Copies of this chain bind each other. A is one copy, B any other.
Amino acid sequence: MELIVQKYGGSSVANPERIKKVAGRVAGYKKKGYSLVVVVSALGDTTDKLLGLAGQISKNPSRRELDMLMSTGEQISVSLLAIALHELGCDAISFTGYQVGIKTDSSHTRARIINISTDRIREELKKGRIVIVAGFQGTDNRHEITTLGRGGSDLTAVALAKALAADACEIFTDVEGIYTTDPRIVKEAQKIWRISYEEMLELASSGAQVMQPRSIEVAGKFNIPLHVRSSFSQSEGTWVVKEDKSMEDVLIRGVSLSRSEAKLTISGVPNKPGIAAEVFRKLADEGINVDMIIQNIGKSADTDISFTVPRSDAQAAMKALKEISSKVGIRDVSQDTEIAKVSVVGVGMRSHAGVAASMFTILAKHKINIEMISTSEIKISCVVKKKDGERAVKALHKEFKLGKK
């Protein structure tokens, strides 16, 4: 019997009515003869509500206690979905992460899955039951409750699919699949039917928020076919699969936009070895993820370094840099939150030269100034002024001919 792991996001189970709809959908799959493991996120904005309660008590709550608190959200969803499936006459049983043996390390609020002991799930599947598992959570070796970070339910689904050697993993969300760009910005955006893990990972990391990047990485590593689709319609979504030859025919798979970063510039840095190392070590120690880095070396004795960080970390980064500025010899630190990052992604770039040049030409033609550039094997990203972000996306999407024919 074919085994499918399905994941339903928070908006798909936002209220009892929607939970009933999800139950109907799951029951339909069961009738078709599939074995089913269903991973569910917390109802709608439950996680934010719980964080709000904690926020009324403390500005800086303990991460262990936050995990204790937030993990209740998914426990509520799974029990309600089980109840809804029973109501449809389906045999279903819900479990917490702990109960199905999802073991993680002890990094509260951003734990990594170490192992999944699938005995209980297999036992229940053998009885013909639909198994419902709370996403986003696990326990460490002391039975402490941990959570997997934002989008962690995707990771639960993919990790379960791997542990159970499932035939596919379906990610149900509030969009119809992955598009060539955000359809809210470009109405000609097209649904992508097949995309490689690498492309999907680059798109997710550069602004497309459909799936958690880490879960795509794991799916790719273990070659688990992902089907990203809408929980509100029956239409086929996007299959995320292993790269094949035909994919290289497409130069650009998609264009993404990120408006959640800030650019920091440190100026008057002594132009000598070890300074950059010291600066970025300090940021790493503070848990701040740095994305793009640019260093301009002029003729003078000192230099400027610019880099981007998640906007939510900008204040913390400024503070960290000021702490070491006199020791390292930094003259000034400034930040710019009015930026946007535009990226084009496609495995076709590997075999086609000149994509970067085309991108710069298109932006120049539209009088959009580029502030920073970074490239990978299958991606080119440019930082532009925030006000130019959407215009840049529209221009690139059109000139690279990604729209509907």
Contact = CB atoms under 8 A, between A and B. Distances in A.
Interface of A: 16, 19-20, 50, 53-54, 56-58, 61-62, 64-66, 68-69, 71-72, 75-76, 78-80, 82-84, 86-87, 93-94, 96, 98-99, 143-145
Contact of A57 (B54, B83, B144): B83
A144 to B, nearest CB: 8
Given A19-B57, A143-B98, A143-B99, A79 B68 contact: yes
B54 A80 contact: yes
A62 B83 contact: yes
Contact of A58 (B53, B54, B86, B143): B86
Nearest to A93: B64
Contacts of A68: 75, 78-79, 82, 94, 96
A181 B198 CA distance: 72
Nearest to A74: B72
A86 B65 CA distance: 10
Contacts of A83: 54, 57-58, 61-62, 65-66, 69
A50 to B, nearest CB: 7
A53 B16 contact: yes
A122 to B, nearest CB: 15
A269 to B, nearest CB: 38
Contact of A79 (B69, B94, B143): B69
Q: Copy number of this protein in the oligomer? A: 2
A57 B86 CA distance: 10
A149 to B, nearest CB: 18
A69 B65 contact: no
A84 B69 contact: no
A80 B144 CA distance: 16
Contacts of A53: 16, 76, 80
Contacts of A82: 62, 65, 68
Contacts of A87: 57-58
A69 B80 contact: yes
28 contacts: A16-B53, A16-B56, A16-B57, A19-B57, A50-B76, A53-B76, A53-B80, A54-B80, A57-B83, A57-B84, A58-B83, A61-B86, A62-B83, A62-B86, A64-B93, A65-B79, A65-B83, A65-B86, A65-B94, A68-B75, A68-B82, A68-B96, A69-B76, A69-B83, A72-B75, A72-B76, A98-B98, A99-B143
A251 B65 CA distance: 50
Contacts of A50: 76
A76 B98 CA distance: 17
Nearest to A59: B87
A252 to B, nearest CB: 45
Nearest to A50: B76
A93 to B, nearest CB: 8
Q: Which 10 A-B pairs have the closest CB atoms?
A: A16-B56, A72-B72, A68-B79, A69-B79, A61-B83, A65-B79, A58-B87, A65-B82, A57-B84, A58-B83
Contacts of A94: 65, 68
A134 to B, nearest CB: 9
A197 B79 CA distance: 38
A356 B154 CA distance: 68
Nearest to A134: B68
Nearest to A83: B61
A79 to B, nearest CB: 4
Nearest to A100: B143
A52 to B, nearest CB: 9
